Chain A
Amino acid sequence: MHGPEIQWYVILSAILFTTGALGVMLRRSPLIILLSVEIMLNAANLLLIAFSRLHGREDGQIFAISVMAVAASEVVVGLGLIVAMGRRHVDLDVDKLRTLRG
């Protein structure tokens, strides 16, 4: 194989994942949080594809495609929620949505 070995892909994927995680933990807007979740999912996909190439079998790619489908469904539901919140003029700030407090 030409180019970087698999470990570089793994490191890249880890950094992407961490970035996405920080975004989830540190941003207040639910839209951005959703986008950060997308980043995390993509990082996982990258890892899957890399290992699929390492092992020489396409099972990892199958998994990545399923992940994409699930990510799409999750975005649908998430955005539906956000639209519903926006329609009711609820502040789009996760810090204000704390009825789970206890």
Chain B
Amino acid sequence: MANFLVWCVWLVAAFACLASALAVVSFRNPFYSALALIGNLASLAVLFLLLSGEFVAAGQVLVYGGAVMVMFLFVIAYLGDRTEESPWSGGPSWQIVGAVLAGGAILAEVIVVVGLEAGNFLSQPKHIGRSFGSPEAIGRLFLTDHLLAFEVTSIVLLVAAVGGVVLGAHARQLEGDARP
């Protein structure tokens, strides 16, 4: 019974994930694409939950969906209506064919590998305890095994913040100069 339920949830979440990803890529209005991405993020969070990654799922919704996507929406709103006329055209003649081929190749390779490994290595998830994926476990790892990653990530964030300020200030500076 539980298996069946899980499968159902999985299928719904996966379908939503794929549909929203396709929507992001295909909509002409970037606003709608951003909204579709939010849906994508939400369905991914559900999948994370199915994989016992509770902290990560929460982080996904809060950080990604709450902060990053909101920033996106602000910028899109700021830029105004940028609906594209013909989103797929332009570029060299071989672009579409090449892109489909490359993407298809990567997909095919992954599926082949999965096919080769199915039934062995990929089919036996380890038994996990109750505290798997809990904040304490994550926190402990961050502060012990992966301390360096933790610290470097904070530096990256700092650099990004500074960069954002510089980009914004630079533009303001120039606009100030351009006015008579």
- Chain A residues with CB under 8 Å of chain B are 1-12, 14-23, 25-29, 31-32, 34-36, 38-39, 42, 45-46, 49-50, 52-56, 58-59, 61-66, 68-77, 79-84, 86-88, 92-93, 95
Chain B interface, number of residues (Cβ within 8 angstroms): 91
Which residue in B14, B25, B141 is a CB contact (below 8 Å) of A19? B25
A53 touches B114 (CB 8 A): no
- 3 nearest A-B residue pairs (beta carbon): A73-B160, A56-B126, A3-B6
Known: A3-B50, A66-B153. Is A19-B21 also a contact (CB below 8 A)?
Answer: yes
Q: Across the interface, which residues of B come within 8 angstroms of A95, CB to CB? A: 90-91
B68 touches A71 (CB 8 A): yes
Of chain A, the residue at the smallest CB distance from B123 is A5
Known: A32-B24, A86-B79. Is A26-B96 also a contact (CB below 8 A)?
Answer: yes
Interface of A is mostly: helix
A12 touches B125 (CB 8 A): no
B142 touches A19 (CB 8 A): no
Which residue in B60, B78, B167 is a CB contact (below 8 Å) of A77? B167
- The distance in angstroms between the C-alpha atoms of A20 and B36, with both chains bound, is 13
Of chain A, the residue at the smallest CB distance from B44 is A42
Of chain B, the residue at the smallest CB distance from A39 is B21
